[in-house]
Amino acid sequence: MSAKDCSHHKKGRGKLFRKIIAGTLIFLLVVLITILIIWAILRPNKPRFILQDTTVYGFNATVPNFLTSSFQVTVSSRNPNDRIGIYYDRLDMYATYKNQQITPRTAIPPTYQGHKEVNVWSPFINGNMVPISPDFSADLGSEQAAGSVFLTINLDGRVRWKVGAFVSGTYHIYVRCPAYITFGSKSNGVIVGNNAVKLQFVTRCSVSV
């Protein structure tokens, strides 16, 4: 084979390689555009969370600058989408008072939520001698003595959307559920078990994704 033929052969292989690369890129671009069009048409809606009830097993704000508490919280989540599923890759629940965290995070097991499905979780969240700021400690003690404390039940995690075989990247989800805890003669709860009080709420939560 002459040098001229060898050069022509190399040019032919290079041209074929460029065509393969170009074809692959065009195919990937078409797939990406198709996915984006489907995504735009379907427009996934955020899941809807409702705080169903909270059972108070313990709440002690009498020690200055510390709080000990124990709750079982029931929260439901509904997927409002007709054609989009939701992967809950991580979801942690904890309580706050005036935006200060008063319990450690409790992890909820990862799960998949299909179209129009409802999931219900009832984890325990507990805090033993959790430090709180002096100002908040005084307010918390006064409110408990008066018979009611306003808390927020929070869920923080990561979700992915599923459209057919396509699964999106990870999104941050943050849920805030108001919880009005009452004590003593002002309590509107039901006694359950050993001095535990179950409070019914059925309160809609705010959801950010």
SS (H, E, C) the chain: CCHHHHHHHHHHHHHHHHHHHHHHHHHHHHHHHHHHHHHHHHCCCCCEEEEEEEEEEEEECCCCCEEEEEEEEEEEEECCCCCCEEEEEEEEEEEEECCEECCCCEEECCEEECCCCEEEECCEEEEEEEECCHHHHHHHHHHHHHCEEEEEEEEEEEEEEEECCEECCCEEEEEEEEEEEECHHHCCCEEECCCEEEEEEEEECEEEC
pTM equals 0.80
Residue 23 predicted with pLDDT over 70: yes
pLDDT of the residue at 109: 97
> Taking residues 27-50, what's their average pLDDT?
77
pLDDT of the residue at 168: 87
pLDDT of the residue at 65: 94
> Taking residues 59-71, what's their average pLDDT?
93
pLDDT of the residue at 59: 93
Residue 2 predicted with pLDDT over 80: no
Residue 87 predicted with pLDDT over 90: yes
pLDDT of the residue at 123: 98
Residue 100 predicted with pLDDT over 60: yes
Residue 39 predicted with pLDDT over 80: no
